[in-house]
Chain A
Amino acid sequence: MTLAQPSTTVGAQNNIPPIINDFCITFSTINGSGSATSNTTLLRALFKMGIPVSGKNIFPSNIQGQPTWYSLRVSKDGFLGRLDRDDIIVAMNPDTIYNEQTFLVPGGVLIYNDSLVLPETRQDITIYPMPVKALVKEAEIPPRLKDYIANMVYVGVVSQVLGIDLDLVRQALDFQFKGKQEAVDINFQMVALAAEWARLHIKKTDPYRVEPMQETTHCILADGNTAAALGAIYGGVQFAAWYPITPATSLAESLNEYLPMLRKDPQSGKNTFAVIQAEDEIAAIGMAIGAGWAGLRAMTSTSGPGLSLMAEYLGLAYFTETPVVVWDVQRVGPSTGLPTRTAQGDLTFANNISHGDTQFVLLIPGSVHECFEFGWRAFDIANRLQTPVIVMSDLDLGMNQWMSPPFEYPSEPIDFGKVVWEEELDALIEKVGGEWGRYLDVDGDGIPYRTLPGNRNPRAAYFARGTGHNEYGRYSEHPQDWMRLMDRLKKKFQTARNMLPKPIITTMENASVGIIGCGSTDFSIREARRLLSRKGIPTNYMRVRALPFNNEVVHFIEKHDRNYVVELNRDGQLEQLLSLEVPHLATHFEQVSRLDGMPLAANWVADTIIAREEALQ
């Protein structure tokens, strides 16, 4: 080989102890250049080595040509949250290489494409150049593929530098290209060539490396949107209408991918489902609500701007008591905001969407495993309560790959709720004394019985309306009818409290401080708690999973004088909702919220709480 290049170690210590399976590596590339394949290949190879790993795609709202980053976190302790520093940076983008170094820790590593002009560099890092162009040339890649394959060079170099098993890289490529041998071969050839070059020419002076573990043996690697779609399929979804929007699009696309695989009638080969791409979000929710009214397990998936458009229709569903499931994969708002960045900023809006007195059931999954669970459970809850259920996911959870325990088969049978068909209706009419009413509270739980279109019993039909109505669905402007109806809807939400997923509470010895969070911040909060306890601040932690809140949520708040409510928005929306629930305990809350478009980092959470605690001393 003629491509010898010196590796430079500037000021890094050669004798520092190795750092094994505990670092963050960020790949800085140009979007549209095919780097996603390289990044996930490394992610999968590490996962196959048994090392806990997570990948976060930090990408622009753009198709091609803009900077994009992918951060891979390797964590022997299983922490999957974001770190706000990098140990290793792989720089492939000339526009960002200068800035990149500022994120490196002292002693960190900069691996860069040697055709980029290396700016004046920090003195406390290790630098490895990669002769990308020359290696691609040597590999004799067909010209049309050159730009895409070039990113495989860093897969090979990084594998060699860190000690990633190339056989596992090959397995990852096999998966990526679904066994298409030619594609696998051409990519792997590049990887192997680059790794061999690195073996010969890079003198490793940095401390980072990987070693096989057994921590991922029974785990899967999945994103939350795929998990949600699969959960919905096992929950019996029959109808989905959607409109493309980042970051929710891949949820509906996963339905399209897996439904034909899982939900064809075995005898006839015909579908037990329908998915429609609607003309906009208003039509998407309208179709889903129509389908829900007709008795289908119906859903839509969207993000903030779409949810805004759905507000009017969700009010209709609340008021006509129509089950429907809405997945809100949150991104940064207000307005168009940051379409490709993550947030938890739709909580207060979703809770009371639509005009008049409304309330909505929210489910907040905190992992891909829970995305799957809430995927099926949301239908049962919506049908049991006859009301919309909004599932609050977010971009970080929905679009990034997470390691997770395998999806668990639903633990409860499908619940259609209080639906009565022909014969059951006759029995019910007898029970209620001769006249059936769609909105009669027969059982005292606020939840009435409903019939579905197609029911041939001549007494089954009723008229659903967004206007005032009495127990029999008849138009009414009578003050007493209105009050009775609205009070019953409220009662239904009291019933809901005890049906919804309870919070997950974990405690530490001698803890007097509480932390409350929800959703995808779970990973960072768990890590922050370890940082806090090392600083002598043990904490109890409650992850809220549903609204309306149940009693356990209130008890947790009561137990702690200070509950730090950690969340990914500007205004502390979860804290606001909790304060409304327990106004007499409003002084027990401390807002720890932040919104810069990035997933929360554990050290920011810990530092913020430490500073507040110290201020109290």
Chain B
Amino acid sequence: MNRSPVNGVPAQKIVVNRIGLSRSDYKGNPTTLCQGCGHNSISSQIIGACFELNIPPERIIKFSGIGCSSKSLTYFLNRSFGFNGLHGRMPSLALGAMFGDTSLKGIGVSGDGDTASIGLGQFKHLVRRNAPMVYIVENNGVYGLTKGQFAPTAEKGLHLKKQGVNPYMPVDICMEALVSNATFVARSFAGDPKQVKELLKAAISHHGIAVLDIISPCVTFHNHDDTLHSYSWGKAHEIQLHDLTYVPARDEILIEDFEAGDTREVALHDGSVIRLKKLEQDYDPTDPYKALHLLEDAERNDLLVTGLIYVHPDLPTVFDLYNLVDKPLNRLTAQELRPSPESLERINQLMF
């Protein structure tokens, strides 16, 4: 499915996906973040996931708040509409915007300060409404753009150069999402790109809010070997819940079966499947009680547990509750939007 030759010159062999787009059609501008920043790795996994899922970039809308993470929106999917809004307020902006055309998929990128500090309220309300979008928190435990202050996800006792010692317990984003009745909660690690990409594909296919808390080390202000949000700590302490593979609906028959008893499958609303190959334990991600327990356990034992923590694939999204017309609202015509003159006469009769 190569692109057709131009002026008789054979095109270079470009890999294209099922809709005839190449990876570069999903690219953004060059990053301006620090070299080695975990966020850049996440951006390229977003590009990879969308390319491999064969989604036209025009069918995605990007959102972000304020901070290093939020800047990364311009480093992927240039052909998608995007809105870089206010600090901590991305959820409301995204929710309103997606009402414009509910057939579009939202991808939000936020940071730990943006989500767990100033934006905690809006985050939790977006989650509880089950707005169908991917909500990525690029979590590095530090304020980068203002040069190294404690973020609300920083662990108690963390020492930072100018700030001293963090006296407070951290906010656990996955826990907050769970208790707000999120329908898809996952944690991953920017140093584990394969898992990030598979989770992203599942999250994009999920019918509802998909919260991805991705530990994404800040190489400039917060990459000490002994702290929770660093590459080396993550590599040493990551415990994968399962070996996760996303299987698109139409590919299902092509994938050879795993050995029975070895795998769990979660069917998503669109017919695709998340295959979870058992590793050390047999974890059931559809049980919210176990999910909470898992997170509590991980915190007590100082572990970075990654994978799909919780999923409920079939709950209604916010848009399912509004009985909206099939046509995107933002394509309705004047005639479809203004009631008739006769109806106003009837309304006037009621005004007494």
Contact = CB atoms under 8 A, between A and B. Distances in A.
B337 interface: yes
B80 A287 contact: no
Given A294-B97, A465-B84, A220 B103 contact: no
Given A221-B351, A287-B92, A270 B326 contact: yes
B26 to A, nearest CB: 12
Given A406-B351, A409-B344, A466 B86 contact: yes
Given A286-B96, A461-B78, A414 B330 contact: no
Contact of B58 (A222, A287, A458): A458
A462 B81 contact: yes
Given A296-B99, A456-B56, A460-B58, A279 B338 contact: no
B58 A455 contact: yes
B95 interface: yes
Nearest to A223: B351
A294 B339 contact: no
A292 B348 CA distance: 29
Contacts of A271: 322-325
Contact of A463 (B84, B95, B338): B84
A452 interface: yes
Interface residues of B, number: 54
B89 A282 contact: yes
B332 A272 contact: yes
Contacts of B57: 458, 461
Contacts of B86: 286, 312-313, 316, 466
Contacts of A51: none
B100 A296 contact: yes
A286 B99 contact: no
A274 interface: yes
Interface string B47-86: 0000000001110010000000000011000111111111
A293 B351 contact: no
B339 A233 contact: yes
A294 B98 contact: yes
A418 to B, nearest CB: 15
B177 interface: no
Given A290-B92, A290-B95, A409-B344, A414 B334 contact: yes
A271 B74 CA distance: 35
Contact of A274 (B103, B122, B324, B339): B324
B100 A453 contact: yes
Given A274-B324, A453-B61, A466-B86, A221 B352 contact: yes
A76 interface: no
Nearest to A297: B337
Given A233-B339, A236-B337, A464-B82, A279 B121 contact: yes
B91 interface: yes
A20 interface: no
A465 B104 CA distance: 20
A289 B93 contact: yes
Given A239-B329, A409-B344, A475-B74, A467 B339 contact: no
B125 interface: yes
Contacts of A423: none
A454 interface: yes
A294 B92 CA distance: 13
A413 interface: yes
Nearest to B25: A458
A285 B122 CA distance: 12
A44 B325 CA distance: 39
Contacts of B328: 454
B67 to A, nearest CB: 12
Interface in A409-464: 409-410, 413-414, 416, 451-458, 460-464
Contact of A286 (B85, B322, B330, B343): B85
A143 B339 CA distance: 45
Interface residues of A, number: 75
B344 A270 contact: no
A44 B351 CA distance: 10
Interface stretch (A89-97, A260-268, A510-518, A536-544): A260-268
Contacts of A463: 73-74, 81-84
A464 B83 contact: yes
A278 B92 contact: yes
B167 to A, nearest CB: 28
Contacts of B261: none
Nearest to A455: B58
A290 B330 CA distance: 12
Contacts of B351: 220-222, 226, 406-407
Contacts of A482: none
Contacts of B339: 233-234, 262-263
Interface string B339-352: 10101100110011
Contacts of A298: 96
Contact of B344 (A234, A268, A278, A453): A234
Contacts of A290: 83, 92-99
A456 B96 contact: no
B58 A291 contact: no
A263 to B, nearest CB: 7
A198 interface: no
Contacts of B243: none
Given A286-B85, A464-B82, A268 B348 contact: no
B330 A295 contact: yes
A58 B348 CA distance: 26
| Max count, chain A CB within 10 A of own CB: residue among B57, B85, B326 | B85
Contacts of B100: 291, 293-296, 452-454
Contacts of A461: 57-58, 78-82
A278 B190 CA distance: 34
B121 A293 contact: no
A294 B98 CA distance: 7
A196 interface: no
Contacts of A288: 96
Interface in B122-180: 122, 125
A153 interface: no
B336 interface: yes
A128 interface: no
A147 interface: no
A409 B341 contact: yes
Contacts of B300: none
A286 B125 CA distance: 13
16 contacts: A272-B336, A276-B95, A282-B92, A283-B89, A290-B93, A293-B100, A294-B101, A297-B337, A407-B351, A413-B334, A453-B81, A454-B101, A461-B58, A463-B84, A466-B84, A466-B86
Interface of B: 56-58, 61, 73-74, 78-86, 89, 91-101, 103-104, 121-122, 125, 322-326, 328-332, 334, 336-339, 341, 343-344, 347-348, 351-352
Interface of A: 44, 47-48, 175, 220-222, 226, 230, 233-236, 238-239, 241, 258, 262-263, 265, 268, 270-274, 276, 278-280, 282-298, 312-313, 316, 320, 406-407, 409-410, 413-414, 416, 451-458, 460-467, 475
Given A221-B352, A454-B104, A457-B58, 18 more contacts: A236-B332, A262-B347, A265-B336, A268-B325, A270-B326, A272-B336, A283-B121, A285-B92, A293-B93, A293-B97, A294-B330, A296-B99, A297-B337, A406-B351, A414-B338, A451-B81, A452-B330, A460-B81
